[in-house]
Structure 1
Amino acid sequence: MNNDLAHPNGGERSPLTVAETASLTARITWLSVGVGGTLMLVKAGAWWVSGSVALLASAADSALDFVAALVTFWAVRVAVLPADAEHRYGHGKAEAFASLLQAGLVFASAALVGQQAIHHLLEPQAVAAEGLGVLVMALSMGLTLALVQAQARVIARTSSVAIKGDRAHYLADLVSNAAAMVGLALAQVTGNTRWDALAALLVAAWLVKGAVEVLRAAANELLDREVDDAEREALLALALDDPQVMGVHQFRSRRSGPILHVQMHMELEPTQPLIAAHDVVEAAERRILAAFPGVDLVIHADPFGHSEDHDEDFDGLTVGHAADRVVNPKARSGR
């Protein structure tokens, strides 16, 4: 396995550039597609032999994972395309659109599995080759566990929304495999095939839960939800890490695939020359870019104490100045 996948957090590594992120996410999607296709075919074959509805549920889940992996494979490649004349903010939201499709596929799969499980609960059918089913599930869990561990290492370095969504599918697959194994084992021990159908119902419920989570993540990105508090605080701390910066207000942020968009108004000493203010802003940009490579950053310089009237012009369009303002306690002023 590539060293970047095997040891993404080893040592003191520098932050990834957009190009490095693109390379890492592209490689992990190849692995995801390969595992998804393999598991789909193996489980479909085992279901054909055994007739197990739990195996059918797990095969359907793996088919969903395979399709989702293909969608992610496409999305991470489109999302890193540079901005152009028609897409000034880049193509990052391709990942969110892919997540919407993934959520729809999960809901459809859950409906199919749930319908089959209820049918088999009402009209139990014999399950053959339970041992084969358990063996297939064990193999599937081993491959899936290896994949989600590799995905976790990539996510730790890239924070890719698309890879997170893809990993959620495979984590759901782990649960479905475990449920199928338990259902098949209980059916074999007790002779009651309803255990197999009950396991399939659990898989359907887990799929619905996963679909809701994927849908929520996609909606947050499409609706330009603010980054989480920890990331916001880190960005603000970097912006204020200079005694010449007297405060920050109208801070906004949003994610679009691998790109983080940030803008803010930076309050500076009113009497300093324009070139000096430019240098302060540029230094802040360098600090933020060093910690968040590839961020799309816009900083507007405001004279300290003279920005309130300007902010009132945007009433209803921005967060209130007083509530959104962060004053630098270490600010140095020559006033």
Structure 2
Amino acid sequence: MDVHGLAPAETARLTRRVTYYSVGVAAVLVAAKLVVWLLSGSVALLASMADSALDLLASAGTFVAVRYAIHPPDAEHRFGHGKAEAFASLVQAGLVFASAALIGRQAIADLVHPHAVEDSLWAIFVMVLSTALTGLLIAAQTRVLRRAASVAVSGDRAHYAADLASNLVALVGIAAAAWLGVARLDPIAALIVAAILLWGAVNVFRQSSAQLMDRELPESERAEIVRLMTEDPRLIDVHQLRTRASGPYVHMQMHVDLDPELTLEAAHQVIVAAEKRVLAAFPAADIIIHADPLGRAEPHGGAFAEAPAAEA
């Protein structure tokens, strides 16, 4: 499904609701893991609790970002506030890196000086609870992302997907350390958790930086834009198409070739009709169209000048 096919208001409704879930799940897990870590002393559980605490901070940032990103353009932000989502996602990546570093440091110390895991049943219980709640949250986030574009929610989901894997690893480590009597299995599990988190952080960073660097929309969406624009045979060609995403919004600009014999009024009607076709498929789009008379237009200059026809 085209994730840019929802109106901004519907995208805002979906993303706001799922961020409530995210903050709630993180708060419950931090409280539960804190209590059981104090009882058990498990370093794998401590690692998971530290990660959940950073999850809570990251989810709170996402909670704020998706609400700010949907604000309409103003005098100081003519292209809207959508990139707030990418900034929030970038902060998430930094928090995950910090979490992985702290977990790795504590795990190495515990490998050097291992200790037994106490109250293992409680530790196992809270990890099962954490795994179940995280899985439900990821499912909810996935449903939202199938319908709406949100780099902040996508980053949050990637973060929690890494958490889900780390929870499973920590659960195995705690159970093995408690039931097999091998204390070092607990910090080894924590090191695996740290590695998983580092990998998740890299993926979140890639996604957020792509939006901050104005990466083009996928080729399938660009092709759809061209197809919609050229449904009217009087609009002959589309060139210099540039697209970028900004949170829930999509910005696109293009040059189009028109029959040079069209009157100004007729050319205007053709372009307005084409714009409406694109908006029907991309309701959150901001569209700029420059009309060229076919065969009579001068090459456009400026910082992003068109290449000469022989090189195009």
TM-score range, shorter chain: over 0.9
Residue-by-residue CA offset, 1:6-30 (whole Å, 9 max, x unaligned): xxx9xxxx94211121111111111
Please tell me whether residue 320 in structure 1 is matched to residue 307 in structure 2: yes
Q: 2:136 aligns with which of 143, 146, 156?
A: 146
Q: Which residue does 1:125 correspond to in 2? A: 115
Q: Which residue does 2:27 correspond to in 1? A: 37
Instruction: Note the aligned Cα RMSD (angstroms).
Output: 1.8
* 1:286 alignment partner, SS class: helix
Q: Please report how far the alpha carbon of residue 324 of structure 1 lies from its aligned counterpart in structure 2 after TM superposition.
A: 9.8
Distance in 2 of aligned mates of 1:322 and 1:21: 41
Q: Which residue does 1:329 correspond to in 2? A: none
Please tell me whether residue 310 in structure 1 is matched to residue 299 in structure 2: yes
Contact 1:22 1:80 in 2 (8 A): yes
Distance in 1 of aligned mates of 2:19 and 2:69: 14
Distance in 1 of aligned mates of 2:143 and 2:160: 15
* 1:108 alignment partner, SS class: helix
Q: Which residue does 1:243 correspond to in 2? A: 233
**Residues 324, 226 of structure 1: alpha-carbon distance in 2 compared, 3 angstrom cutoff:** farther
Distance in 2 of aligned mates of 1:319 and 1:197: 58
**Residues 303, 236 of structure 1: alpha-carbon distance in 2 compared, 3 angstrom cutoff:** same
Q: Which residue does 2:198 correspond to in 1? A: 208
Q: Which moved more, 1:183-192 or 1:250-259?
A: 183-192
Distance in 2 of aligned mates of 1:322 and 1:201: 56
1:8-87 equivalences in 2 (<5 Å): 15-87=5-77
Q: Please report how far the alpha carbon of residue 234 of structure 1 lies from its aligned counterpart in structure 2 after TM superposition.
A: 1.7
**Residues 293, 324 of structure 1: alpha-carbon distance in 2 compared, 3 angstrom cutoff:** farther
Gapped runs of 5+ residues in structure 1? 1-8, 326-335
Q: Which residue does 2:250 correspond to in 1? A: 260
Structure 1: which 4+ aligned runs deviate by more than 4 Å? 321-325
Contact 2:299 2:306 in 1 (8 A): no
**Residues 276, 107 of structure 1: alpha-carbon distance in 2 compared, 3 angstrom cutoff:** same
Higher RCO (CA < 8 A, seq sep 6+): 2
Distance in 2 of aligned mates of 1:185 and 1:76: 39
* 1:310 alignment partner, SS class: coil
Residue-by-residue CA offset, 1:84-133 (whole Å, 9 max, x unaligned): 11110111111111112111111111100000011111111111122221
Please tell me whether residue 111 in structure 1 is matched to residue 101 in structure 2: yes
Distance in 2 of aligned mates of 1:147 and 1:319: 47
Q: Which residue does 2:124 correspond to in 1? A: 134
Residue-by-residue CA offset, 1:31-56 (whole Å, 9 max, x unaligned): 11111110111111111111111101
Matched-pair identity in %: 54
Distance in 1 of aligned mates of 2:124 and 2:222: 47
Q: Please report how far the alpha carbon of residue 320 of structure 1 lies from its aligned counterpart in structure 2 after TM superposition.
A: 3.2
Q: Please report how far the alpha carbon of residue 285 of structure 1 lies from its aligned counterpart in structure 2 after TM superposition.
A: 0.6
Please tell me whether residue 296 in structure 1 is matched to residue 286 in structure 2: yes
Gapped runs of 5+ residues in structure 2? none
Please tell me whether residue 187 in structure 1 is matched to residue 177 in structure 2: yes
Distance in 2 of aligned mates of 1:319 and 1:255: 22
Q: Please report how far the alpha carbon of residue 321 of structure 1 lies from its aligned counterpart in structure 2 after TM superposition.
A: 6.1
Distance in 2 of aligned mates of 1:118 and 1:209: 19
Distance in 2 of aligned mates of 1:176 and 1:24: 27
Q: Please report how far the alpha carbon of residue 306 of structure 1 lies from its aligned counterpart in structure 2 after TM superposition.
A: 2.6
Q: Which moved more, 1:236-245 or 1:63-72?
A: 236-245
Q: Please report how far the alpha carbon of residue 142 of structure 1 lies from its aligned counterpart in structure 2 after TM superposition.
A: 1.0
TM-score normalised over the length of structure 1: 0.89
Q: Which residue does 1:229 correspond to in 2? A: 219
Distance in 2 of aligned mates of 1:172 and 1:151: 14
**Residues 131, 323 of structure 1: alpha-carbon distance in 2 compared, 3 angstrom cutoff:** farther
Contact 1:250 1:321 in 2 (8 A): no
| Letter of the 1:310 counterpart | P
TM-score normalised over the length of structure 2: 0.95
